[in-house]
Amino acid sequence: MSDAPVLLSSEIPSSSVITDLAVVEVGGGPLVVCADRDGAVWTWDPQRDLWQPRPLAYAFAEDPLAVEYPDAENELNSLAAAVSGSRVLLAAGGHEQGSALWDLESGELLRGARYGEPYVGSMATVKGEGPPRFVTGSDAGVLVWGLTAGEPPAELPDSDIHGICAVATARVNGRSLVVAGGGDVGVWDLARDEQLTSFYPDDGSVEAVAVSQLADRPIVVAAADPGQVYVWGLSGDEGDEPIYDPIVGHEGSVSALDTATVGNRPLAVTGGADATVRIWDLAEGAGVGAPLTGHRGGVTIVRTSMLGGREVALSAGVDGVIRAWDLAALVW
């Protein structure tokens, strides 16, 4: 086991646990947006190894009840980001706070939260054309919302999944798909506003979800307790059974997951409580190489992205360090 494939690593200046991160393309390179355990938002430019705090207006500033809590601050655990024109938009919320929208550079509140709104279990940016939209998963279901402050979010049908803590979006064969996981996994076609299917792990709850493809066949990948990675097909021919037996390998729970295709090889990248990052070949349902070590504590978030023209996996978690792993070097 080795740190050799690490392209770079950097610690968040707050030295706090990183609870979520998103990646957007700005000025020809990636910009990483992070939320830490204190509810603060930071950006990291990996090309310059530059961190910046991003103060945000209080999410409830437009709510009349906010005057009763003059010293209140944002409590953000989950976030998503998108580029609109020259602005980076940040959607975020938390376990004690509903979702809101900001201009990341200025910190201006563009769409505020309201007291009594559903708290946030997970967030993602809708993949597709048109103005940015965001997906929020909570006990109230899966909500899709846009930039207009007065327009209420739309709830996807049959999205009352118990304990939603993971959402993901993908553009597959011209369709915008939304996947949400908790007690089970649901999949929706966003344009048609309908649920396509649902899946059920054999044991435990789903902690993270993603979408990929095997050849031209779309698949859903999910990490579930007690440390299993499930792969289900979306073509309609497989039914609701996994394509193969759940993949195991982490020692303990798996709470971080994303997918990537390197060359023509579909991969899943996972992070777990055992402080390792692992890579899986989704066609074979088997691990690729040795576990990747170096984190000091559990890995809570994994995102795949491009960095310097190379496909990388960004991992972060309890130690407050982001590591960029070179996927091409690891799988070839």
CATH number for the domain that contains residue 326: 2.130.10.10
Q: Measuring CA to CA, how many Å separate 220 from each of 28, 62, 71, 235, 301?
A: 30, 39, 43, 11, 18
Place of tokens 């095997």: 214
In a domain, 123, yes or no: yes
In a domain, 86, yes or no: yes
Distance CA 299, CA 257 (A): 10
Contact criterion met (CB below 8 Å) for 93 and 113: yes
Please state whether the peptide bond connecting residue 152 to the residue before it is cis, i.e. omega within 30 degrees of 0: no
φ and ψ at 330, to 5 degrees?
Answer: -85, -30
Query: Has residue 247 been placed in a domain?
Result: yes
In a domain, 169, yes or no: yes
Write out the chain's pLDDT in tens, 332 residues: 345 579 999 999 999 999 999 999 998 899 999 999 999 999 999 999 999 999 999 999 888 877 777 788 899 999 999 999 999 999 999 998 999 999 999 999 999 998 888 899 999 999 877 899 999 999 889 999 999 888 889 999 999 888 899 999 999 888 899 999 999 999 999 999 999 999 999 888 999 999 999 988 899 999 998 899 999 999 766 667 899 999 999 999 999 999 999 988 999 999 999 999 999 999 999 999 999 999 999 999 999 999 988 999 999 999 999 999 999 988 77
| 9 conformational bin, left if phi > 0, alpha if psi -120 to 50, beta if neither | beta
- In a 10 Å sphere around its CB, with 0-12 CB exposed, 13-18 middle and 19+ buried, how is residue 122 labelled? buried
- pLDDT at residue 331, rounded to an integer: 79
**CB of 168 within 8 A of CB of 177?**
no
* Burial group, residue 152, by CB count within 10 angstroms (0-12, 13-18, 19+): exposed
d(CA 49, CA 207): 30
What is the C-alpha separation between 295 and 49, in angstroms, rounded?
18
Alpha-carbon span 132 to 85, nearest angstrom: 10
- Contact 127/176 with Cβ under 8 angstroms? yes
Residue 2: the pLDDT is 46
Burial class (CB in 10 A: 0-12, 13-18, 19+), 57: middle
* Residue 157 counted as domain residue: yes
Q: What is the CA radius of gyration of the chain?
A: 19
For residue 1, the model assigns a pLDDT of 39
**CA-CA distance, 259 to 238, in Å (whole number)?**
21
| Cα–Cα–Cα angle for 104, 178, 107, rounded to 5 degrees | 10
Rounded Cα gap, residues 326 and 187, in angstroms = 30
Could you tell me if residue 110 is inside a domain? yes
201: Cα within 13 Å, side-chain hemisphere:
26
- 82: in domain: yes
Residue 1 lies in a domain: no
Alpha-carbon span 46 to 306, nearest angstrom? 11
Domain that holds residue 216: 6-331
Distance CA 64, CA 19 (A): 29
Domain count, the chain: 1
pLDDT value at residue 237: 65
